[in-house]
Amino acid sequence: MSAGLNLNTLFRKGILLAVGNPAIESAVDKYGMQLGAARFVAGENIDEAIVNLKRLEDEGFKTNTTLLGEGIADEAEAMAVVGEYIYILDRLHAAGLKTNLSVKLTHLGLDLGEEVAYRNVERIVEHAATLGAFVRIDMEESARVDVTILIYRNLRTSGHDNVGTVLQSYLYRTERDMKMLMEYQPDLRIVKGAYLEPAEIAYPDKREVDVAYLRAVKYSLAHGGYTAVATHDDRIIDYVIEFTTRNDISQDRFEFQMLYGIRTDLQRDLLSRGYKVLIATPFGPDWYPYLMRRMAERPANLLFVARQMLPGA
């Protein structure tokens, strides 16, 4: 392992550990939006988000959005989040946007029990279906993977087809999960994984995560319904383009997905070459953990935020 890789791994761990520190959270919360969070978050409310979503759709991108938040442990609060998502769906529809949703089960009350989360996500999925919208269930920490997959399967067996989920290539178990999910011909987003996981369950070496990522994408493209290749990694994207071209896999079987504000050059390049590109465009006042995960992925993001503090920057 190179010194650079070691430093990056340490940096990532340090930042992800800081997510739980209340002092850091309150400092970042107070100044973060002015200091650069706006580069990664499309606004603090739905009106601001709609302006950005419209701009992206006008450019030709597909979009999804998320009301940022996670770890809700109060039933009334979780129900309020459901109400907000119903309102968001209505507002997106009224604005003529084709934006999908991407939701986190812990934002919908997963910590209160599987039944609460199922009931809440089902309400959103049902409402989305009446508007022709799609809902993806994000994947969170490894402790939530079993229940997330279970809820996804239960939704599908109950006849909800406008729903998809996510698998993370850093987890050893992902290959098994993917095979098991294939019977649903799922709409699967494949990511590397954004949380801090121990070596007992996740590849500690980034190169192995990348290799596992390609394996997962190839498997999904060869067997699955629809594959969302969610990465900013040029080499992986080039490989997927070469693989799909060589195997005659048509563009209605896959799309690329990237995060709002990250590698916008690559996003535009793929779009101009005729590929479908979805920009995941989150918004909301509770952007702190999301921003910290983006910092952890790339030390330069911390420098970007730090530079905003310089006069005239």
Report the interface residues with ligand FAD, using CB under 6 A: 138-139, 166, 168, 189, 191-195, 230-233, 257-259, 262-263, 280, 294, 297-298, 301
Give the DSSP H or E segment for 230: strand 226-230
Q: What is the rounded CA–CA span in Å between residue 50 and residue 281?
A: 10
Nearer to ligand FAD, 195 or 203 (CB): 195
Which is catalytic among the residues 136, 189, 293, 294?
189
Nearer to ligand FAD, 94 or 211 (CB): 211
Question: By the 8 A CB rule, do 276 and 60 touch?
Answer: no
Q: What is the rounded CA–CA span in Å between residue 221 and residue 138?
A: 20
Q: What is the rounded CA–CA span in Å between residue 160 and residue 26?
A: 40
Choose among 101, 69, 72: nearest CA to 88.
Answer: 101
In DSSP terms, which residues pair with 167 in a beta bridge? 190
Nearer to ligand FAD, 184 or 256 (CB): 256
The position carrying tokens 């973060």 is 32
Q: What is the DSSP letter of 279?
A: E
**Known catalytic membership, residue 136:** no
Which is catalytic among the residues 12, 138, 156, 177?
138
What's the closest the beta carbon of residue 137 comes to ligand FAD, in angstroms?
A: 8
What's the closest the beta carbon of residue 76 comes to ligand FAD, in angstroms?
A: 26
User: If you write DSSP's letter for every residue of 5-41 in order, what string do you get?
Assistant: HHHHHHHHHHHHHHTT-HHHHHHHHHHHHHHTGGGTS
Nearer to ligand FAD, 220 or 231 (CB): 231
Nearer to ligand FAD, 50 or 296 (CB): 296
**Known catalytic membership, residue 210:** no
Neighbours of 217 (CB within 10 A): 26
Q: What letter represents residue 164's amino acid?
A: G
What's the closest the beta carbon of residue 21 comes to ligand FAD, in angstroms?
A: 20
Active-site residues, by number, are 138, 189
